[in-house]
Structures are given as C-alpha cells and as structure tokens.
Structure 1
Amino acid sequence: MVDARLDDFQAAKERTAAAQGLPAELSRALGDFLAAGGKRLRPLLCVLGWHTAGRARGQAPAPVVQVAASLEMFHAFCLIHDDIMDDSATRRGRPTVHRALAALHQGRAGRGAADRLGTSAAILVGDLALAWADELLHTADLTSAQLTAVLPLVDAMRTEVVYGQYLDLLTTGHTGEDVEVALRIARYKTATYTCERPLQVGAALAGASAAVRSALSAYALPIGEAFQLRDDILGAFGDPAATGKSSWEDLRDGKHTVLMALALQRADAVQREALHTLVGDPALSEEGAARIRDILTATGALQAVEGMIAHRRARAQHALEQAPFPPAATAALRQLADATTTRTT
C-alpha cells in the first residue's frame, strides 16, 4: 500500500510538472530512486506502531498509509544527500542520484562540469523529497489531534538525523578507538530515525497510551543500534550483489564505526599501523580492503560486534515480553527484530 501511494503521488507530480512545462529530470530521478527498492522499514514500523495501540489486524487506514509513505519520502531525502556527502557510486544496485544525473548531462559538458551539475541537481532532488515528505504528511487527512500528536515526533526525528549525520561527517577520516562516539552516531543517525520515531508516529496516530509509547522505545532503541551495527559489518564484509553498494566504501572513507574502534583497541602495533595507513585512503585497493577485513577478524572486533548485536536483540525481545501490545503486533515486532539484525542486505 505504501508503494502504491508513493507511485500515485509521484505520477501526479510528474503530470503537474509536464503541464507547467517544467524539466522532467528531477521528479523522474526521485521516482527512479524510490522504485529501485529499499526495505521500506520505516513505513512498516509506522504501521506496526499503529497496531501496537490495539488497532485491529489488517489493512491500515489511508491516512496512516500516507504518513508511512511520507517517512519513506523523507528517507529518500536522507539517502540522496548522504550519497553526495560520501561521494558514493552505487545505491540499491544502481548509480546514485548524483552519478546518474551527471551521466545524463555528460554529453552537454565536460566531465568536471557534468559532475558538478549532477551533484547540484541531486541536492535539489533531495530537497524535493524533503518538501514532498512534508506535503504527504500534511495532506494525509489527519485529525487535528493526530497532527498535534505526530508533528513533534516528526520534527524531533528530522533534527536527530541531521545531528547524527553531522557527527558522522566530523568523525569520517578520523577513525579512533572511542566506541561511545561511534554508538552516539548510531543512536542519532539510525536508532531513533529508523526505528523509534516511526513506531512512535504510528502509535501516536492511534492515540496510544503512555505505557505503549514507553514499551516501543524500550524495543526500538536496541534494535535501531543493532541495525546500525549490522550495517557497519555489511559496509566492510557485505556482498555488493546483495547490498547494492560497495563493500569497501566505508573503509575508503574512514568511517568511525564501533567495528573499527574495537579493532584499533585490540590491534597490535603492526595491525594498528596497517589500519592507520589503509583506512581512509582515497586510493584504497581491493587488496588493501582485504587486509583491513583480515585485521577486523583477527583482532576479534567482528566477533565482538556480533555479540553486541545479539545482546541488543535480546534486550528488544525482552522488552516485547513486557509490552502491552496485541499478540499479533508483538509477533510481528519479534520477527522484525530477528530479520533486521541477521540481514545480509
């Protein structure tokens, strides 16, 4: 239902642009990005949040679906801008938006000019996704009480993810041994924005009690952190054919992750020197990336992060045992906890 709502919204926007004689590239680039796939985790959690408040099983009402769609549109904004900041080449198995737009205009200008145009245009595509996320939210036919309950959560989510992204930028290329800094980035960049806020938004739409909201946070925060920890592992060890992106981009950029911080803590002098030399090297080769992976494994950092993921999954499962949710909602959240923390994509 969320995909159908996004498709309908996107088609309407493209018809409006065509009727006004506006360039089709921006809306088409955004539509292609949305159609390329993705987990749709945030919309799913929004709908599950609605169900945790005791709503009947089955299809969520149209306003809930549209709010869930607005979260996916906001996610598109985040990813498009994140790919620009990281200069990523691929996302979801396709060229990133800025690379695709640069290729589109390659024949009209030299390489440098086309790249600059692609980057600038992708910033605008991301801005468009942010504006349209807001439009989807405010045209979802919510009651005044629902809108009053939801807006502070959405505002907090947007602020948190921007601060999380900024913390990520500050530490990229300056990898150190501080695990707490890496976990703080995970909390703001992923845990609240990916899990906690979408669940809270859905619950707020249903008029959830304070007990439901508290139980959702107890579940969502450890799962959100585990999700990011798994993402860090996939960023170094993932199969690009499955993840749709490079398995050594984070290593090239020098991302400050828990995985890397633990490796530096546990490394001997030779291993630490290799990490400091290779991690963050813009010219990192596949051979160099393989050497980093060997160290991440040999130091026990990989195994330690797997343990942290398992611990957080157990905390989330324990929270579900105490939660005042309907059985069907609890079962769905339990299954989701397992799927998101053991994923390979």
Structure 2
Amino acid sequence: MTQQVLDRVAGYERRFNTLFEEYFDTLSAGVDAPSFSRFTPECVQLLRELSLRGGKRMRVVLLHEAARLVTAEPVEGLDAAALSIELLQTHGLVHDDLIDDSPTRRGGPSTCYAYRERFPGHPQTALGLTVLAGDLALALSLRVLLDAQLPAAVRQAMVEVQTRAAADTFVGQIIDLERDFTATAGEEILHCVADYKSARYSILAPMQLGLLAAGERPDLFMQELRDYARLVGICGQMRDDYLDLFGDAAIMGKPTGTDIRDGKHSYTVSALLSAVSDTERVAVRAALGDRSCTPETVAAVREIGENRGVTVRMQADMRRYAEQASAVAAGWRSRWREEAVTFFEHLPLWSVERAM
C-alpha cells in the first residue's frame, strides 16, 4: 500500500467514526420506546459503546473503494451504506461473543458480560437482553437504508444486499458450530465456513453497496465479485487462524491459543492434525477444547507446528489464495478505473503480508 492509499484509508476511518457517533447521538435522543422503559436506552448505550470502541473499519474502506471503481466524484448513499455495514457488524459481534462466551471485545466488556454484571441474579434476563441487543442492531442496519434519501430502486437493491448478507452470515455461524462436531474439518468445509460466515458480509456486500451507490449494477459482474470475495475471505480467515497460534501476543494485544482452548477446528488446527505424528496428534487433541490449557501447553503445540512445517505451509497457502484474488481483480481493468482496481489487486497480498 502506498502512503497515498494509506492516507485515504485513514480518512475513511476518521470520517466514519464521526458519522457513527453522530448517528448514535440521534438514535439515543429519538429511539421509539415507551417513556417508562429503562432497559431500551441501556441497550442502545451498550450498542453505542461496542460500536464506537474501534475496529479497522475495513468494510467501510471496501465500500468507498468499490464506488471509486466507477467514479472519483462524491457519491450519495455511501454514508447510509457504511452505517448499515457497521451496524450489521455490531450485531455479529454481540452474537459472536455470546456464542463464544467471550468476556471482552475491543478492549471493553462484551455485551453478554455487561448484561451478566448488570443482572447477576437473573441469567436468563441477561441472555435474553443480549440476544435482543444483537437483533436491534440488525434491524437498525436495515432501517438506516430504508430511511436513506436515495432513489427507491437503489434503496431496495441495498436492502436486498444486506438482507441476503445477514442470512448468509447466520448460515455461516450455524455451519461454523457444526464444523467443530466433525472429527477433522476438510479444506472445502473450512472454505465454505469462511465464505458464508465472513466473506459474504465483510467483502462482497460492501463492494455491492459501493457499486450500487455509484450507479453501477453489481449483478452484471456477480460471479467475479463472488470469486474475489471468497478468495479474500479465505485468506483473511487463514490469517486470523494462523495468528491465533503463531502470532505475537504482545503485538496482537491478546493471548494466543484461543482456538485451541475453544476446541475450534480452524485452518491451523486442521493443518496441525494432518501434519503431525501419531504421538504429537495425541498431544494436540489433548489440548484441543481444554479451557484450562496453559500457555506452556499452547507453546508446546506451537513448537510442534513449527517443527512440522505448518507455518511454512500455511504461509504458502495464504499467498496462493491472495494471488488468485489479485488476478481476479486485475481482470477488472478494462471495465473500471485503474486506481481503484489497483487497490483491490493489492489488498489481498497486503493482508497476507501482515501475517508473515
């Protein structure tokens, strides 16, 4: 990434964070709830805190850069689309943390743990309010599009994109949980989970929304967009799984080995189980799903992976999928603007390099 591109990306993030804060200011003042309700404004406040605590806003970046494929001029509708994308992400974080029983998110308490602290003697109330908080974020992500000052046809198309992305993500969550009940998750299952759970709402949907806002018809190029999103999604999930075991905890700001302790059959775990000896496989399986697994045990599993060439193999796989995604984007040059095509061409390679 050139400095010019990095500056542009940082600009998207700064502008959106201001927009998101203003959105929640308006929402907090005008949410339609009975005057006696205390739980409703508390729910909105928790969604606000989670939403504004950070994140790279890469979905917002993809949205804006997709519009730049068509034009460098300002485009109406990008603000509403960006809010919709990140509200859907907030929904996903709330429910992800509930499913994973995660106490923290983005340097603060997860919504489910915040509600547990709020209602220590009423676990079902805490559970119910967590689910409803996530549901509210999903509904708001669609409402912000329905309220956007855009032509009706564009509004409808954007809502269809986000509705489909949300449904695909729910299926992705289901098959992600199902995956961990298999003895060994094969490559196609892992790719399918990455596609449904992440790529379709994090990459494909923002690109579709950006193109729609800029007056383009993404349905005319859907197979290319799907191919690109799937390949980038696979790279991204591989990178996350790789860093979970082989990353630097100090740099990441969180401990390694989470997938091992949670018993997740991730790309890394699958690669480990296929590369180790019978004796080493017993050690890996003993650690898999052990919530009390010590840092020393995680370090031992990491060493096994390094000695068996798992790091080298995963790095090569990530680069191969990144190069395939880059080649798909390169094919857009005859149709769309060179500068934006170059961004999408370089993005997967840059993403992979962050893991190496």
Same fold (TM over 0.5): yes
Name the counterpart of 1:27. Answer: 44
Give the aligned partner of residue 7 of structure 2. Answer: none
| 1:139 is aligned to 2:147 | yes
Give the aligned partner of residue 22 of structure 2: 8
Question: Aligned equivalents of 1:137 and 1:317: distance in 2?
Answer: 31
| Aligned match of 1:38 | 55
Aligned alpha-carbon RMSD (Å): 2.4
Q: What is the DSSP-based 3-state SS (H/G/I as helix, E as strand, rest coil) of the residue aligned with 1:55?
A: coil
Tell me the residue number matched to 1:69: 83
The question of 1:56 aligning with 2:40 is answered no
- Deviation string, structure 1 residues 205-225 (Cα, Å, up to 9, x no partner): 333256654443343221111
Describe the shift of the 1:245–1:90 C-alpha distance in structure 2 as closer, same or farther (beyond 3 A).
farther
Tell whether 2:323 aligns with 1:314.
Answer: yes
Query: Residues 168 and 256 of structure 1 are in contact (CA less than 8 Å); yes or no, is this contact kept in structure 2?
Result: no
Match of 1:160 in 2: 168
Query: What residue number does 1:285 align with?
Result: 294
Report SS of the residue matched to 1:318.
helix
Matches of 1:31 and 1:192, distance apart in 2: 24
Q: Which of 135, 138, 162 is matched with 1:130 structurally?
A: 138
2-side partners of 1:245 and 1:127: how far apart? Answer: 28
How far has the Cα of 1:19 moved from its partner? 8.8
8 Å CA contact retained: 2:241, 2:266 = yes
* Corresponding residue of 2:211: 203
How do 1:1-345 and structure 2 match up within 5 A?
1-16=15-30, 20-23=35-38, 24-52=41-69, 54-57=70-73, 59-61=74-76, 63-103=77-117, 105=118, 109=120, 113=121, 117-172=125-180, 174=182, 176-209=184-217, 212-323=221-332, 324-343=335-354
> Offset of 1:115 from its aligned partner?
5.4
Give the total of aligned pairs: 336
Whole-Å Cα distance in 1 between the matches of residues 128 and 255 of structure 2? 23
Q: Structure 1 residue 177: deviation in Å?
A: 5.0
1:166 maps to a residue whose letter is I
The answer on whether the counterparts of 2:260 and 2:269 sit within 8 Å (CA) in structure 1 is no
Unaligned runs of 5+ in 2: 1-14
Gaps of 5+ in 1: none
Per-residue CA deviations over 1:272-325 (Å, capped at 9, x if unaligned) read 101111111122221222222222222222221211110111112212221122
Secondary structure of the equivalent of 1:142?
coil
Tell me how far 1:166 sits from its aligned partner. 0.6
Measure how far apart 1:124 and its partner are.
Answer: 2.1
Identity in percent: 26
**Cα distance in 1 between the residues matched to 2:354 and 2:125:** 36
Range with bigger deviation, 212-221 or 267-276: 212-221
Distance apart, 1:29 and its partner CA: 0.9
What is residue 3 of structure 2 aligned with on the other side? none
Contact 1:179 1:262 in 2 (8 A): no
CA contact (8 A) 2:228 2:328 kept: yes
Q: 2:75·2:214 contact (CA, 8 Å) conserved in 1?
A: no
Asked if the contact 1:66/1:137 (under 8 Å) is kept, the reply is: yes
Q: Is the 8 A contact 1:226 1:341 kept in 2?
A: yes
Conservation of the 8 A alpha-carbon contact between 1:230 and 1:342? no
Do 2:330 and 2:345's aligned partners in 1 also have CA atoms closer than 8 Å?
Answer: no
Cα displacement (A) at 1:241: 4.9
On the 8 A contact 2:261/2:291 being kept in 1, the answer is yes
Verify the 8 A CA contact 2:203 2:229 in the aligned structure 1. yes
Counterpart Cα distance in 2 of 1:114 and 1:292: 39
CA–CA distance in structure 2, aligned partners of residues 120 and 277 of structure 1: 34
- 1:140-163 CA-partner distances (Å, limit 9, x unpaired): 122122133333322221111111
Q: CA deviation at 1:245?
A: 4.2
Deviation, 1:47, is 1.9
Measured in 1, the distance between the counterparts of 2:274 and 2:293 equals: 22
Distance, in Å, in 1 between the alignment partners of 2:322 and 2:193 is 19
2:155 is paired with a residue whose SS is helix
